[in-house]
Chains A and B, each alone.
Chain A
Amino acid sequence: MILPRFAFHKASSIDEALALHKEFAGNALYLSGGTDLVPRIKLRLAKPEALIDLKGIKTLETVEQDDRWIRIGAMATISDLMKNPLVAEYVPVFQASLESTSCETLQMRGTIGGNLLQNTRCLFYNQSEFWRKSKGFCLKVGGEKCNAVPGAAVCLANYCSDNAAALLTVNAEINVAGPEGQRQLPLGDLFSGKAGRPFTLKPGEILTHVLIPKKKTRGGYEKLRLRGSVDYPLLGVALSSGNEAVRLAVGAVGPRPYVFDMAGWEEQSLHDVIAQAKATARPAPNTVVETAYRRDMIPIFIERLAKRLAGEAK
Chain B
Amino acid sequence: MTDELSVVGKRMKRTDSLAKVTGEALYTADLKLPRMLHAKVLRSPHAHARILNIDAGKALRLPGVKAVVTAADGHGINWGVFKYTQDHPMMAIDRVRYIGEDVAGVAAVDEETALEALDLIEVDYEPLPAVFDPFEAMKEGAPLIHEQYARNINVHVHIDVGDIEEGFAKAYLVKEDTFDAAGEAYSTLEPYAVVAHYHSGYLDLWMPNASAHVRAKALSNLLKLPLNKVRVRHINVGGHFGSRSEVSPGDFVTALLSMKTGRPVKLLLTREENATCTRQVHAINATIKTGVNRDGTITAKQFKVIYDGGAYSSTGPIATSIPYYVYEEAYRLPNVRYDGYRVITNKGIRGMYGCHGRAFLAGNEMQMDTIARELGMDPMEIRLKNGLTAGEQTATGSVIRSGGLEEPIRRAAEKSGWKDIKEDRSLGKGKGMGCIAIMCGFPMGFRSGSACYVKVNDDGQVTVVTGVIDTGMGNESMVIQIAAEVLGVPVEDVNLVNADSEVTNLDPGAYSQAAAFVGANAVKRACEDAKSKILAFAADKLKHPAEDLDLKDRMVVSKTDPAKSVPMRFIVREAFFKGTPITGTGAFMPDIDFQREWVKNPYGQMAGTFSYGCSVAEVCVDRETGQIAVPRFTAAHDCGTPINPMAVEGQIEGSIHQAGMAVLMEETRWSDGHLLNPDLLEYKVPLACDMPHIETVIVCSNDPEGPFGAKEGGLTARMNSYSAVTCAVQSALGVPLTHLPLTPDRLLKAIGAGKTGGEK
Contacts and interface: CB of A to CB of B under 8 A. Distances in A.
Interface of A: 1-2, 4-5, 103, 123-124, 126-128, 130-131, 133-135, 147, 224, 226-232, 288-290, 292-293, 296-297, 300
A123 B272 contact: no
B358 interface: no
A73 to B, nearest CB: 28
Given A226-B743, A288-B677, 5 more contacts: A227-B665, A231-B681, A231-B684, A293-B748, A297-B625
Contact of A123 (B112, B626, B669, B690): B669
A179 B677 CA distance: 40
A293 B745 contact: yes
Shortest 7 CB-CB distances between A and B: which pairs? A134-B45, A293-B745, A228-B689, A290-B745, A1-B270, A289-B745, A123-B676
Interface string B538-553: 0000000000000000
A231 B680 CA distance: 10
Contacts of A232: 681
B271 A1 contact: yes
B671 A147 contact: yes
Nearest to B626: A293
B45 A130 contact: yes
Given A293-B744, A297-B625, A131 B689 contact: no
A256 B674 CA distance: 28
A130 B684 contact: no
Interface of B: 43, 45-46, 99, 111-112, 115, 270-272, 624-626, 664-665, 669, 671, 674, 676-678, 681-682, 684, 686-687, 689-690, 743-745, 748
Contacts of B684: 226-227, 231, 288
Contacts of A131: 272, 674, 678
B677 A228 contact: no
Contacts, number: 74
B744 A135 contact: no
Contacts of A4: 112
Contacts of B669: 123, 288
A135 B675 CA distance: 11
Given A128-B272, A229-B687, A293-B748, A2 B112 contact: yes
B281 to A, nearest CB: 17
A118 to B, nearest CB: 13
Given A1-B271, A123-B669, A300-B625, A230 B115 contact: no
A230 B681 contact: yes
A124 B675 CA distance: 10
Nearest to A42: B270
Contacts of A130: 43, 45, 272
Nearest to A225: B684
A123 B46 CA distance: 19
Given A2-B115, A130-B45, A135 B674 contact: yes
A101 to B, nearest CB: 14
A300 B624 contact: yes
Contacts of A224: 625
A231 B674 CA distance: 22
Contact of A134 (B99, B677, B687, B743): B99
Tell which of A133, A134, A226, A229 has the most Cβ of chain B within 10 Å: A226
A163 B689 CA distance: 22
Nearest to A287: B682
B625 A228 contact: no
Nearest to A3: B112
A230 B687 contact: yes
B682 A1 contact: no
Contacts of A226: 664-665, 684, 743-744
A103 B748 CA distance: 28
A134 B598 CA distance: 38
A229 B690 CA distance: 8
15 contacts: A1-B272, A123-B676, A123-B677, A130-B43, A131-B272, A134-B45, A135-B674, A224-B625, A226-B684, A227-B687, A228-B689, A289-B744, A293-B744, A293-B745, A300-B624
A128 B743 CA distance: 26
Contact of B671 (A135, A288, A289, A297): A135
A134 B626 CA distance: 35
A296 B99 CA distance: 35
A156 to B, nearest CB: 15
Nearest to A289: B745
Contacts of A147: 671
B203 to A, nearest CB: 27
Contacts of A133: 45
Contacts of A289: 743-745
Contacts of A124: 671, 676
B624 to A, nearest CB: 5
B671 A228 contact: no
Contacts of B677: 123, 288
Contacts of A292: 745
Given A128-B272, A226-B743, A228-B687, A296 B748 contact: yes
A297 B677 CA distance: 23
Contacts of A229: 687, 689
A34 to B, nearest CB: 15
